[in-house]
Amino acid sequence: MTKSGVLEKNGVVNFVQQGTGSPVILTHGLAASLHDWDDLLPELADAGYAGYALDLLGHGESYKPVSRSEYTVEKVFDHFSAWVDSLNLADSLTLVGHSLGGALSLMYALRYPERVNALVLVNPFYDVKQLSPAIQSSFIRQLLSARIVDLAPYWFYRLFVDASNIDFYIGQREPHTLPEHIRYQTALDFTRASSGIYNIVHTLPYLISDLPRIQQPTLLLWGSRDQTLAPESFPRLKNLLPNIVVSHAMPICGHVPHQCHPDIFNPYVMEFLKNLKSS
């Protein structure tokens, strides 16, 4: 069920909730939306969990500030944490975060450890150095051409999405490509996002020295063909987070393994949650 609410000082937040039971909070990455989790939410509901997914600040149908100064990781975190508070959940949370959503999940676990039961990190963004120089310069160009970004039509973003998902084969000749409906939604999410969001990545606080304080059981999943964040940065988390229960690379996926092959991704998440219940 899609819902929206007004958060004091944080504007409208658009979110979806499915199922009842232990709460699982699903947080998307930059220029995405709550639709990132369309394949996982029904499985969570069927297994007896309450899944919640939101559009982050500046994304989807949520509040989009006019001022570029509002687009920082701290402001996005404030919007996210105020939304979590508004849910009035009695049970501790399992946080599932992709990319920027991974950063927000790590920050929430550091600031409110008593509220977090476990973490699922998907291609998590935890260090600005994960971004390639080419990606960083791309963000700078977008900042300088914000008006162009705001006016770019769907077909412009669709060309970009299609170009970055050209079929190729590795290993057992399994294709790495996003399904058509995912490509459509990805391009649509770009058009719905505020151009100010491209400032967010440069404001990520330094997290590395604090990560060893996170004691919650953690599932770490990533796509080995990530062209947005350096794939070699994900295994490094195993040396920083003390309680990674399972870590797994998906060699046939890029930056969005939860959308690339949900048939492979979702069972890892569901098995992790099942083992949490039985421990």
Q: Which distant-in-sequence residues (6+ apart) come within 8 Å of 194 by Cβ?
A: 58, 59, 64, 65, 71, 150
**Is the model's pLDDT at 4 over the cut of 60?**
no
**Percent of the chain whose pLDDT exceeds 90:** 65
Give the model's pLDDT for residue 184.
Answer: 81
What's the CA gap between 73 and 78, in Å, rounded? 9
The sheet carrying 11-18 orders its strands as: 2-7, 11-18, 49-54, 22-27, 93-98, 116-122, 218-223, 244-250
What's the CA gap between 119 and 214, in Å, rounded? 10
Identify the residue with better confidence: 162 or 167.
162
Structural domains of the chain in order of their starting residue, each with its CATH number: 2-278 (3.40.50.1820)
Give the model's pLDDT for residue 133.
Answer: 75
Give the model's pLDDT for residue 165.
Answer: 66
Say if residues 229 and 260 touch (Cβ distance below 8 Å): no
pTM > 0.95: no
Candidates 52, 35, 36; CA nearest to 44 is 52
